[in-house]
A and B are shown apart, each in its own frame.
Chain A
Amino acid sequence: MNSNKKSPSILEINGLTVKMAGFTLVDQVTFNIREREKFIIVGPNGAGKSTIIKAISQSIPYSGEILYKGEDVAKMQKNQIARNIGVLAQHHSVNYSFTVEEIVELGRFSYRKDKLMIKEEKEIIQEALEMTGMIEKRKQSVLTLSGGEIQRTFLAQLFAQNPNILILDEPTNYLDIQYQEQMFRVIEEWITSKNKAVLAVVHDLSLASYFGSEFLLMNQGKAVSRGRKEEVMIPEQLNLVYEMNVGSWLHYLYKHWEKYL
């Protein structure tokens, strides 16, 4: 039913359940992500979207299986996880005046035992800075940057880390519209050129349906539906979860711009 079905799956989530303080935040969620897929999780606040990301990055206890190319992530070494699965957090606050470059260089932490040539390392960092448009501010302290620039700095760190699957938690929350577009373009370019995949939590439904190739709709910790855009991002599904007429509201929002097209 999907042309992507043939490519091998990178990440498999089987019956993921997360419980905290007596509440079930994520309940028996199963899905898998294949190469070149742009897998988007959507759903209202409190649906458990970010919790799934925290479980995949091993920062909270969970039950169920998370497999990377068939291997149990919980049993992998930390630097192996970092080389394969890269996470961009929703929000970053930095207390010390590290430079942009110093933060991007940390992306190479899991490779430091490989003893790559200094020149090679420099090129990887250079490329990451160029892709995110931070090259001119490389020597600048992060304390002087705007929220969007900080987010792009950490995206550059993630590119330097060069994982096979990018996990993004609301990646454009702090970005103005021009960088929103740019960021998704950069990510798209990056994953298609290198046979990678991305898993992203995106709040904005228009942005989600523009960017994603596969979707998971969640509500109150449960997976409501899963599949392609035509199967998930449709009023029949969304209206129930968001308890409103999603289509007409979005249409209403964008009506103003139609006459300028």
Chain B
Amino acid sequence: MKIKAVFLTRFFFISMCLILIMNICVVYGSVDINLWDTGRIVFGAITGKFPSDIPERFIPIVLGVRLPRVLMSGLVGASLSISGAAMQGLLKNPLADGTTIGVSSGASLGAVIAIAFSAKSTLVSGLGTFLMSILFSFASICLILFLAKIIDFTLSTNTVILIGVIYSMFASSITSLITTLADKEIKNIVFWSMGSIAGSTYEEVVLMTVILIICSFVLMRNGVELNAFAIGEENAMHVGVDVRRVKLRIMALVSILIGVSVSISGTIGFVGLVIPHITRIFTGPNHKKLLPISMAIGAGFLMLADMFCRTMFSPIELPIGIITSFIGSILFVFIMIRKNSNKFRG
């Protein structure tokens, strides 16, 4: 019972923090709308009646532009972080993440192919982008691990990353090729590739929420298995984990999360790498705690990062990938240095 109380307090505290961050992110923007008014507009949307003293032009800004965008950045942040944490555990590789092992590039390629070859119907192409992204990210993980296994049976950290980088370049080159050749659809492709979290709709938010809830639930149920993988695949097998089945399951879930995130927001680099590392400082490597807390910190981080992108050089808006990659690449180097110094210590 005591454990449950601790758990509930923490859950409550984290939810409060996230809601606070969300509110701050909705309030800040190029148009000044204070916290009180923002709250009343959101509340008005629920009750259906807006207070008359709020200028009418504020309502679409808050409800149509800012709220879905903030929600979406939180969802994407949570998805990328939990998939990064799961991959780092599964591959026993602290440098693994959608960007570093090339899965995101694979997902982008899938999305671009879907757009370039889709029919005119937006619904079909919309669904097509999702499915193709998911499919391509799954195929990418399989291919990368297969190649890594051929080259280095032990699946060492550096081999996987190296192949990921090579695969990333390969996938990007094909993406560019398709973009160049697809003269009719080029506008859509460019639009998609620039389409950050900015143009998010509520339909996308709902879809993303459903997918995130299902995938993260199953991932968390596999927390102990992920612990076993993080200690070592061989050991996981010895203690009785059905290695092949669990691996396939986790890879599929991660592909779905990354695929959908990429098809909605494009590639947002290094979030999945950085957040689990920051989270481990507080939770330790146990995935039972690491996965949910990563998700929360990732959601908060990306909401704030997106807010800085909107407001820092206003009216110029920075692509969100700039901030995440800036922080992420520095941390990447830091982790590598620390990892190598561990090696010398024996």
Q: List 10 A-B contacts (CB under 8 A).
A: A58-B237, A78-B241, A81-B240, A83-B240, A96-B231, A97-B284, A98-B227, A98-B230, A98-B284, A106-B235
Contact status B280-A106, CB under 8 Å: no
- Known A79-B240, A95-B92, A96-B285: A106·B230 in contact at CB below 8 Å: no
Q: A249 → chain B, closest Cβ, in Å?
A: 31
A242 within 8 A of B: no
Considering only CB atoms, which chain A residue lies closest to B286 in the complex? A102
Q: A24 → chain B, closest Cβ, in Å?
A: 19
CB < 8 Å neighbour of B286 from A57, A78, A87, A98: A98
Docked complex Cα distance between A59 and B236 (Å): 11
Contact status A78-B224, CB under 8 Å: no
Q: A106 → chain B, closest Cβ, in Å?
A: 5
A58 contacts across to B, CB distance below 8 A? 237
Q: Please count how many residues in chain B sit with their CB below 8 Å of the partner chain's CB atoms.
A: 26
Contact status B242-A78, CB under 8 Å: yes
Report which A residues bind B (CB closer than 8 A): 57-59, 78-79, 81-83, 86-87, 89, 92-99, 102-103, 106-107, 109-110, 112, 143, 147, 154, 157, 161
Docked complex Cα distance between A107 and B231 (Å): 12
Report which B residues bind A (CB closer than 8 A): 89, 92-94, 157, 224, 227-228, 230-232, 234-235, 237-243, 280, 284-286, 342, 346
Contact status A106-B242, CB under 8 Å: no
Contact status B230-A109, CB under 8 Å: no
Contact status A95-B94, CB under 8 Å: yes
Contact status B280-A154, CB under 8 Å: no
CB < 8 Å neighbour of B232 from A78, A81, A86, A94: A94
B285 contacts across to A, CB distance below 8 A? 96-98
> Besides A93-B232, A96-B280, A107-B239, 4 other CB < 8 A contacts?
A78-B242, A106-B231, A106-B235, A161-B239
CB < 8 Å neighbour of B227 from A102, A143, A161: A102
Contact status B234-A143, CB under 8 Å: no
Docked complex Cα distance between A93 and B93 (Å): 12
CB < 8 Å neighbour of B237 from A57, A83, A103, A112: A57
Considering only CB atoms, which chain A residue lies closest to B154 in the complex? A93
Docked complex Cα distance between A112 and B235 (Å): 17
Contact status B342-A89, CB under 8 Å: no
A102 contacts across to B, CB distance below 8 A? 227, 286
A92 contacts across to B, CB distance below 8 A? 232, 235
Docked complex Cα distance between A97 and B285 (Å): 6
Q: B246 → chain A, closest Cβ, in Å?
A: 10
Q: A16 → chain B, closest Cβ, in Å?
A: 19
Docked complex Cα distance between A117 and B89 (Å): 28
Contact status B237-A106, CB under 8 Å: no
Contact status B238-A89, CB under 8 Å: yes
Task: Tell me which of B238, B239, B241, B285 has the highest count of chain A C-beta atoms within 10 A of its own C-beta.
Answer: B238
B235 contacts across to A, CB distance below 8 A? 89, 92, 106, 154, 157
A110 contacts across to B, CB distance below 8 A? 239-240
CB < 8 Å neighbour of A95 from B230, B240, B242: B230
Considering only CB atoms, which chain B residue lies closest to A82 in the complex? B240
Closest 5 CB pairs of A and B: A82-B240, A110-B240, A96-B285, A79-B240, A109-B239
B227 contacts across to A, CB distance below 8 A? 98, 102, 106
Docked complex Cα distance between A78 and B241 (Å): 6
A78 contacts across to B, CB distance below 8 A? 237, 240-243
Task: Tell me which of B224, B234, B235, B241 has the highest count of chain A C-beta atoms within 10 A of its own C-beta.
Answer: B235
A57 contacts across to B, CB distance below 8 A? 237-238
Contact status A59-B234, CB under 8 Å: yes
Q: B11 → chain A, closest Cβ, in Å?
A: 22
Docked complex Cα distance between A143 and B339 (Å): 11
Contact status B238-A86, CB under 8 Å: yes
